Structures are given as structure tokens and as C-alpha cells.
Amino acid sequence: MTSTPSAQELFSLDGTVALVTGGASGIGLAAAEVLASAGARTIIASLPGDRPAEVAAASPYADRLSGVDCDVTDADQLAALITGVRDEFGRLDTVFCNAGVALDQGPHLVSTDAQLDAMIDLHVRSVLRTANLALPLMAEKGGGSFIIMSSLAGLRGNRTIGLYGITKAANAQLARNLAVQWGDRNIRVNAISPGVIATEFARGITDDPALAEARLAKTPLGRFGEPSHIAGTVLWLASPAGSFTSGQNIVVDGGTLVSD
């Protein structure tokens, strides 16, 4: 009879390599730092204006973090990113596709094709490209964890960010498809759907007293989430503790989705 692994063993990422897109701030940076703290050599990829190399160098986990400029919607840059990881480390165990943006701010009647095209390109097409590049490398080394940032907006009707919600719903379906297609190579694929997390991304809600009060009234825990709450979920899905979880959309929202 085998003994139960310790907490340290269940959540250790020693000897692994992780990649976080959109990793220079907010949830992405929190996740990258938690992965690094668990032992993973972690690369944060972000737009040049986000200064990912400087952000990595300034982190308390700088010895296990590095930053790379990459526009993930550019197929050539994305291919160069994954090739660079292969050439430097020879393996890739965890990918967290976190890069995202909400461009629409009104009902569909006033949203535009350009907004939809841009979000499909970033949230769906670039994630699928990342998977097609990264998952074969994961499979060569025995498997891994591929994590896609979805959103509560992909599970509820939306008055103002409906296009964003459409693309985030697609993210969750992509996770299910990839989980089925790559499970026999020991690759786990999951999505995470946060509620309102206190980051720059959500300041339109958290910094508006009326909007904040309305959202918190619909959230059983009565508070907004922190980046560390999503980072912890990423760690679980990346670690041995999450090794039997695949094809799921993990909702981390303080209970908002189930609230009456």
C-alpha cells in the first residue's frame, strides 16, 4: 500500500518548465511567481510595452523567472517563443494561456466586427496555435498541464461585454476539445473562469462604488477575489495534485455563478 504524498510533494514543480502568456502583471504575474515558487523554471511572455524581462528581473523569484517579448497573436512570434523554450530547456510541462482583453463596452447593437475579430484572434486563435505548438513538446516528455483563461462572462449573459463572453465561452470549449484529443498522451487541459478579481483589468467594476456594490450583493462571499486565488488554482492544475483533473472549467468567483 502506497503512502499518501505530503503537501510538499503534491504541489512541487521541481524540475519542470512553465510558460505564462500575458504574464507581466495581474493574474498572469501572480501565477508565474507561484509556479516559480513551487520550483518551475517559468517564462513570462507579454507585449514589449509590458516589459516582461524587467518584470521578471524585479521579482522575488527572479532566479527562476525570465521574461520574453511576444505578441501571441503573431504566428511567427508565437512559434519563435515555443522554439526558444525547446532550445533552452528541452521540455515544457505547464502552459497558462492568460493573455486577454475586453474590448466591447456595450450591447451587441453597438459592438463592432473589429472588436470581435481582435478578441477571437487573441482568446481563441492564439490559444489554439499555442496548443498546437506546445502540446507535442509536452507529449515528448511524458505529458503536462495546459491551462486556458476563460471567464465567468462565458457562463452568464452579459449586458456590456457580450463579445468578450462569447470568446471566453469558446475558451472553455477549446479546453474540453484538447482534453479529449490529448488525454492519451498524459496531457491535462483545463480552463479557469474567474469572477471579479481585484486587478487593473477589473478596475471598471472595483473602483466604481455603484457597480462594486451591485456585484458584491450577488456574490455570496461578499468580496472580490485576489490574483493569488487564481494563481493557486493554476498551481493545483499544474501540480501532481491536479494530475487527475482534465477537461474542466474551474469557476473561481466567490459563489457569484450559483447565487440567487
Joined grid coordinates for residue 166: 462569447
Give CA–CA dist 75/239, Å, rounded: 29
Give CA–CA dist 214/59, Å, rounded: 35
Active-site residue, 61 included: no
Give CA–CA dist 212/203, Å, rounded: 10
What is the crossing angle of helices 162-182 and 126-140, to 10°?
A: 20
Helix (H/G/I), strand (E/B), else coil: 29:
helix
Residue 193 main-chain phi, psi, to 5 deg: -115, 95
Joined grid coordinates for residue 212: 462594486
Joined grid coordinates for residue 85: 523554450
Active-site residue (options: 146, 164, 224, 236)? 164
User: Active-site residues: which are they?
Assistant: 164
